[in-house]
Each structure stands twice: as structure tokens, then as C-alpha cells.
Amino acid sequence: MAKIFKGKEVSDALTEKLLDEVNVLKGINIKPALAIIRVGSNVEDLSYEESATKRCEKAGIHVEKFIFPEDISQASLLDIIYSINNDDSIHGALLFRPLPEQLNDHIIRSALAPHKDVDGITDISMAGVYASSDMGFPPCTARACMEILDFYGIDVYGKNVVIIGRSLVVGKPVAMMALKNNGTVTICHTKTINIEKIAAGADILIVAAGAAKVVGPAYINENQIIIDAGINFTPEGILCGDVDFEKVEPLVKAITPVPGGVGTVTTGVLLLQIVEAAKKAAVKLEI
């Protein structure tokens, strides 16, 4: 039976660290602050907004909300983003996407200042991930995968790390982050031949395929660590991951559950990156 890598344990450790860092910042009159930008009233956005707001409040991070109707013009939304960029009291911004059709996603997200891009959506943030630099921030879910491995003492150095999925939100950035830590990385996707055989050879398998329970026993080995970043619903409306947990869990060394795994850590990473943005701002003020 596998060891279950519980997201709450990782998230609680991140929160404890954050509380200490927030208190240090407040000691020099800097209160970390997040701007939430939401267009419309998508149910999933509202749920994440509520969760992020509660977590921020517990950590001592101020939240300022910018809420707009779905018919907002591109010029108006850009004006708001520019004002947030120029507001030194706001350290990070969370822009809910996808945006309504009349808004150009690339133009809108590219307008956000990279040093406030705590959700890792700008091209410059992605360039920072690929260049292993401190430009912007990595996508929160990708970093959450790495934070879980780190918390549970799993070193990717020299390990065979297989990633299923090539999105800009998880697959590609987490591949670069594993490579930075000297993992030997293989990216698989829907066109990969013999994907089961490749996945079964992994020491660490990170799954972000976007398909419910697509990874089963043919993909795994008994010494494997599995990080399941998938969020799906069964036809019965039950939340599940990309890994068939019931079939795979008894056969591997360790695995993250869904729910209660990567998703639980993602919000904690968002808060961590807000605080990191505030710390960078503090350094600039000292200079």
C-alpha cells in the first residue's frame, strides 16, 4: 500500500512559514497584498476566489477585489491592470481566465507586470521558468507539484521523471523545474507512442493529462512516486484525478490523492508567491 502524500500537510507547513515572513514584512511597514481580477461570475472562479481570500486573511495578506461584468471592454480592463501595475501597495495579481470572447487573452495577460504575476500567466514569467531566472513566477500548480516532492523528501536529482501532459500550466513548466533540479525528464502526451511503457519506467510520474483516470496499472511500477495534478469529475459528479487511484494506489510507493493533494497545495503556493513578490518590493525600496 502506498504512502499518501497529503496536500494539507504541505500546505500547513507553507502557511506556517508564510506567517513568519508576513510578520517580518509588517515590521518594516509592508503588508503583502493581492489584487483579484474577475470578469463575470463563473462558479469555479467564485469558489477559488473565496478559498484564496480566506487563506490570505489567515496569513495576514490583504485582498483587494476588482470585479467586472462580462461585457467590460478591453480598454477598460487594461486600464485597471495598468493601475494595479503602478500601485506599490499591491504586490501580486490573480486574473481569472478564460476571459469573455471580446477580450484578447494574450494582450490582457501580457499587460500584467511580471513582478506582480504571482499566478505565472505572462510570457515573461514562463521565460523565467525556462531560463531558471527570477523573472516573474512559475504557475502555481506546477510549483505545487515540486513543493510536495520537496516536503516529503523526494529528491529528483538523477531520477527518471516522466510527465504526462504538455500544457503551459503544469506539463511544460514542471518539466523545466524538475530539469533545474537535475532530474532526467521525459514529456509524454496524446501522440506519444508506447506511453504506458515509458511511464512505467519512471521513478517519479507527474500526471497532468486532463482526462479522468487515464493512468492505470499499465503505467506504473512498485517503486514509483506519483503526483496527480488532474482535476476531473466522473459522470456521477465525483471529483477525481487523472490517475485511477483505487487501482493504482495499492501498487506504487507513494501517491497524491484527488481531492486532497496538489490542488490543496496550489493555493498555498499562490500565497507564497505573493509574499515573495512583497519581499522583492521591499528590497527595491531599500535600494
| Domain residue ranges of the chain, discontinuous segments joined by + | 30-116, 140-263
In the chain, pLDDT over 90 holds for what percent of residues? 91
User: What average pLDDT does this structure show over 78-102?
Assistant: 97
Tell me the CATH architecture of domain 140-263: 3-Layer(aba) Sandwich (3.40)
Spatial contact of 199 and 215, defined as CB atoms under 8 Å apart = yes
What was the pLDDT predicted at 285? Answer: 56
Spatial contact of 174 and 208, defined as CB atoms under 8 Å apart = yes
Residues 6+ away with beta carbon under 8 Å from 280: 115, 134
Per-residue pLDDT tens over the stretch 69-80: 999 999 999 999
Gap between the Cα atoms of 251 and 25, Å rounded: 46
**Helix (H/G/I), strand (E/B), else coil: 277:** helix
What was the pLDDT predicted at 96? Answer: 96
Task: Give the 3-state secondary structure of 10-41.
Answer: HHHHHHHHHHHHHHHHHHCCCCCEEEEEEECC
Spatial contact of 60 and 19, defined as CB atoms under 8 Å apart = yes
> Which residues on neighbouring strands pair with residue 254, listed in sequence order?
3, 225
Gap between the Cα atoms of 158 and 51, Å rounded: 37
Q: Categorize the per-residue pLDDT at 283 as very low, low, confident or very high, splitting at 50, 70 and 90.
A: confident
Least confident of 83-97, 105-119, 163-177, 230-244: 230-244
| CA angle, 15 then 271 then 47, to 5° | 105
Gap between the Cα atoms of 28 and 31, Å rounded: 9
Gap between the Cα atoms of 263 and 133, Å rounded: 25
Q: How many helices (H) and strands (E) does the chain have?
A: 10, 11
CATH of 30-116, picked from 3.40.50.970, 3.40.50.10860, 3.20.20.20, 3.40.50.2300, is 3.40.50.10860
Q: What is the mean pLDDT of the chain?
A: 95
Gap between the Cα atoms of 135 and 176, Å rounded: 14
User: What average pLDDT does this structure show over 248-257?
Assistant: 98
Q: Which of 38, 47, 45 is nearest to 72 (CA)?
A: 38
Residue type at position 213: K
Residue with cell 494574450: 106
Q: Rg (Cα) of the chain, in Å, rounded?
A: 19
Residue type at position 82: Y
Per-residue pLDDT tens over the stretch 7-17: 999 999 999 99
User: Alpha helices of 38-194 — where are they, by DSSP H?
Assistant: 43-59, 74-85, 105-111, 123-131, 140-151, 171-180
User: What average pLDDT does this structure show over 67-94?
Assistant: 97
pTM (global) more than 0.75: yes
Long-range contacts of residues 22-26, Cβ cutoff 8 Å, at least 24 apart: 22/59, 22/60, 22/61, 22/275, 23/60, 25/275, 25/278, 25/279, 25/282, 26/60
What was the pLDDT predicted at 134? Answer: 85
Q: In the predicted model, is pLDDT for residue 32 greater than 80?
A: yes
What was the pLDDT predicted at 70? Answer: 96
